[in-house]
Chains A and B, each alone.
Chain A
Amino acid sequence: MSFLELRGITRDWDGQGGVRDISLSLQRGDFLSILGPSGCGKSTLLRLIAGLEQPQHGTVVIDGRDVTALPPAQRNLSMVFQSYALFPHLNVAENVMFGLKVRRVAARERDRRLSDALKMTGLDGLERRKPAELSGGQRQRVALARAAVAEKPLCLMDEPLSNLDAKLRHSVRRDIRALARNLGLTVVYVTHDQGEAMSLSDTVALMNKGQVEQVGPPSTLYNQPATIFAAQFIGEPPMALVEGPLLGLREGLTVGLRPELIQLSPPEQAHLTARVLDCEFLGSETLVSLDHPAGQGLAVVLPGHASQVPGDSVGVILPEQDRRIFDTHSGRIEKASQQNPAALNRQNTAPRDGQTAPEATEPSFDLNRTTS
């Protein structure tokens, strides 16, 4: 049975913004990322789960209990805010223990949890500091510690790393993962950073304009994007898109391919000829961006330091077995038979492609993996 379940959740403001008809379910102990561009309704969804916002339609079920009408405190969850929401007049220890005091947890138990949480987040020695006397990363850890001491089974995090610099982001990211594992937490983690979502989570729910585009393990989203939006949002660089007719397909189709699967070739064997735009040396490999009038985000990844001269013409092979074919108009995946069979077998046995078939009218997604 799933631990967290959303059924047809809708919340908007006079038809604007918010989220529409979202259904998700999540196993106990899972780490779910809600990924999407800014303004797509990620925070709204999280706040609906937390009970800080009320849905207009739909139900929220946590641990088998319908909590839709319950206030946040009775939903048995903790939350880390994007802004941290630390109490500025209280020191670190008081901030972390605020909830425990409110809930009248015995002093001995309180102290035990406090010292555990501070040790886990590397904050010992800072107990007496006020939030204003801490660095951004330390504040972030206090917010995490506050969520950790609550010892609630479900933890919600709203872009907890967005205020940190790149280096800190990496280390705190690891802390969050470790914390969730150690405490056996079920985590719903909101982020707009696809790298973060892919590296942290068991499951990613990709959102766009208030709706879920695709749900699945990171590798599925990466290898088998269900929509053009997913193909373009996930991956660094994202999928290259080429108009179908160029590759002998009918009008109205778009072909997507991961740049690392694209190869350079002599012009006579090539599927198409593109112009070199730019070379980016990334250390172990070089990203060569290409330009073609019918292509979007075309690029190849070459090992080591490659030196292509910008302006040169190169032949490009788009291996047929790796192509993803989308309906240009609806943005949805077109044909299951042409998808990468090897990847499919590796990923899952669930009929995931069924949900992405063009005739699907309502996006309803199921996270329940068939394998146990």
Chain B
Amino acid sequence: MAGPRAIQGPAMTDPLKLERRRRAIHGWLLLSPALAMLTVFALYPSVATFWTSLWSRGTRRNPSEFIGLENYRALLEDPTFWKVVWNNLLYAGVTIPASIAIALIMALWANSRIPARSFIRTAYFTPTVLPMIAAGNLWLFFYTPSFGILNKIGALFGAPSVNWLGQPDTALWAICIVTIWKEAGFFMVFYLAALQTIPPDLKEAAEIEGASRWTYLRRIVLPLLMPTTLFIFVNAMINSVKLIDHLFILTKGGPSDSSKLILYYIWENAFAYFDRPAAAAMTIFVLIVLGLLAAFQFLVLERRTHYQ
């Protein structure tokens, strides 16, 4: 393509400039599918959501009208919203560290020389491949008062029957446990993969230098796992805002909002109360928080992480 055009001679364009333009066009062509997808599926919905959040809720009698940031003000005054935000913070604060720690411990164990290693790895991974609905029903069975396995076991030791999902004190914790159960196995697979990229002679070198297993773990393994930890952390963060399916099956956000998380509340606003502008405002709020978190992670944590 460049050939015939280059023949047009130096009078019009020199070949270097032509080549540069050709490369630029080439680059844009390669980028365009991704750009189109991102625009259609990410950028446009975000902008549309923001636009929606600036309008009032339309009813049959009062048609929707532009009200600026009014929806956001209402949101800040909504006690349920704050309850849900607090629930979500608690939920993230418990499940993220717990599932990462458990994933790491399981990975270290599954990576060492133990009998039936591949069986154990598969067993860890099962919760992740189990469909959400199936997992939800399974735990529903665990948690059911009097029939549930937890209470059956409790009864053996004479403990009273507890309605784990049915009382405000325990509902959110019960949800947290299901999440940890599901996430830990998933994250373990990443840790396991990362552990297997660490050359075994590093351990031997550390051993000869007199490092204990704990020192080796702390000074060599954990720093080398940092990129994986960061990746998992970001994923867990996103998942903690994304959780909704367990709530549908296990608690429906109740009792009295005690296990309601933000996405469930957004869904409720949009499809149960048909208050789409309120749901849109909340969505924008979540987007901003997630954006800030991502910026923090990639600007601050990234710099302290060693990539090979």
* Chain A positions near chain B (C-beta within 8 angstroms): 50, 52, 71-73, 77-79, 81, 83, 85, 87-89, 98-99, 102-103, 130, 132, 146, 150
Q: Is B158 an interface residue (CB 8 A)?
A: no
A103-B215 Cα distance, complex, nearest whole Å: 11
Q: Is B114 an interface residue (CB 8 A)?
A: no
* CB closest residue in chain B, given A94: B219
Rounded to whole Å, the gap between the CB of A150 and the closest CB of chain B is 7
A50-B209 Cα distance, complex, nearest whole Å: 11
A52 and B207 within 8 A (CB): yes
A98 and B209 within 8 A (CB): yes
Known: A73-B210, A102-B215. A87 touches B204 (CB 8 A): no
In the complex, chain B residues whose CB is within 8 Å of the CB of A72: 204, 207-208
Rounded to whole Å, the gap between the CB of B230 and the closest CB of chain A is 14
23 contacts between A and B (CB under 8 A): A73-B207, A73-B208, A73-B209, A73-B211, A77-B208, A78-B208, A79-B204, A79-B205, A79-B208, A83-B201, A87-B202, A87-B205, A87-B220, A88-B224, A88-B306, A88-B308, A89-B226, A89-B306, A98-B219, A102-B209, A102-B211, A103-B209, A150-B209
* Chain B positions near chain A (C-beta within 8 angstroms): 199, 201-202, 204-211, 215, 219-220, 223-224, 226, 306, 308
A89 and B210 within 8 A (CB): no
* CB closest residue in chain A, given B204: A52
In the complex, chain B residues whose CB is within 8 Å of the CB of A88: 224, 306, 308
Q: Which of B201, B205, B207, B308 is the most central at the interface, judged by chain A CB atoms within 10 Å of its CB?
A: B205
In the complex, chain B residues whose CB is within 8 Å of the CB of A79: 204-205, 208
Rounded to whole Å, the gap between the CB of B240 and the closest CB of chain A is 29
Known: A88-B224, A89-B223. A50 touches B208 (CB 8 A): yes
Known: A79-B204, A79-B208, A81-B201. 7 other contacts (CB 8 A): A71-B207, A77-B208, A85-B201, A85-B202, A88-B308, A99-B209, A103-B210
A78-B206 Cα distance, complex, nearest whole Å: 11
Rounded to whole Å, the gap between the CB of B261 and the closest CB of chain A is 37
A72-B306 Cα distance, complex, nearest whole Å: 29
A89-B206 Cα distance, complex, nearest whole Å: 14
Pick from A81, A102, A150: contact of B204, CB below 8 A: A81
A83-B199 Cα distance, complex, nearest whole Å: 10
Rounded to whole Å, the gap between the CB of B228 and the closest CB of chain A is 13
A130-B199 Cα distance, complex, nearest whole Å: 17
A85-B220 Cα distance, complex, nearest whole Å: 12
A78-B219 Cα distance, complex, nearest whole Å: 19
In the complex, chain A residues whose CB is within 8 Å of the CB of B210: 73, 99, 102-103
A89-B223 Cα distance, complex, nearest whole Å: 7
In the complex, chain B residues whose CB is within 8 Å of the CB of A89: 220, 223-224, 226, 306
In the complex, chain A residues whose CB is within 8 Å of the CB of B211: 73, 98-99, 102
* CB closest residue in chain A, given B308: A88
* CB closest residue in chain B, given A50: B208
In the complex, chain A residues whose CB is within 8 Å of the CB of B202: 85, 87
In the complex, chain B residues whose CB is within 8 Å of the CB of A78: 208
Rounded to whole Å, the gap between the CB of A73 and the closest CB of chain B is 4
A205-B67 Cα distance, complex, nearest whole Å: 89
In the complex, chain B residues whose CB is within 8 Å of the CB of A99: 208-211
* CB closest residue in chain A, given B205: A85
A85 and B204 within 8 A (CB): yes
In the complex, chain A residues whose CB is within 8 Å of the CB of B226: 89
A345-B103 Cα distance, complex, nearest whole Å: 69
In the complex, chain B residues whose CB is within 8 Å of the CB of A98: 206, 209, 211, 219
Rounded to whole Å, the gap between the CB of B212 and the closest CB of chain A is 8
In the complex, chain B residues whose CB is within 8 Å of the CB of A87: 202, 205, 220
In the complex, chain B residues whose CB is within 8 Å of the CB of A83: 199, 201
In the complex, chain A residues whose CB is within 8 Å of the CB of B308: 88, 132
Q: List 3 A-B pairs, minimum CB-CB distance, nearest first.
A: A99-B209, A89-B306, A73-B210
A85-B210 Cα distance, complex, nearest whole Å: 15
A132-B307 Cα distance, complex, nearest whole Å: 10
In the complex, chain B residues whose CB is within 8 Å of the CB of A102: 206, 209-211, 215, 219
A81 and B205 within 8 A (CB): yes
In the complex, chain A residues whose CB is within 8 Å of the CB of B205: 79, 81, 85, 87
In the complex, chain B residues whose CB is within 8 Å of the CB of A50: 204, 208
A71-B219 Cα distance, complex, nearest whole Å: 20
A87-B204 Cα distance, complex, nearest whole Å: 11
In the complex, chain B residues whose CB is within 8 Å of the CB of A85: 199, 201-202, 204-205
Rounded to whole Å, the gap between the CB of A149 and the closest CB of chain B is 10
In the complex, chain A residues whose CB is within 8 Å of the CB of B199: 83, 85
In the complex, chain A residues whose CB is within 8 Å of the CB of B224: 88-89
A98-B215 Cα distance, complex, nearest whole Å: 11
Q: Which of B199, B209, B210, B211 is the most central at the interface, judged by chain A CB atoms within 10 Å of its CB?
A: B209
A88-B308 Cα distance, complex, nearest whole Å: 7
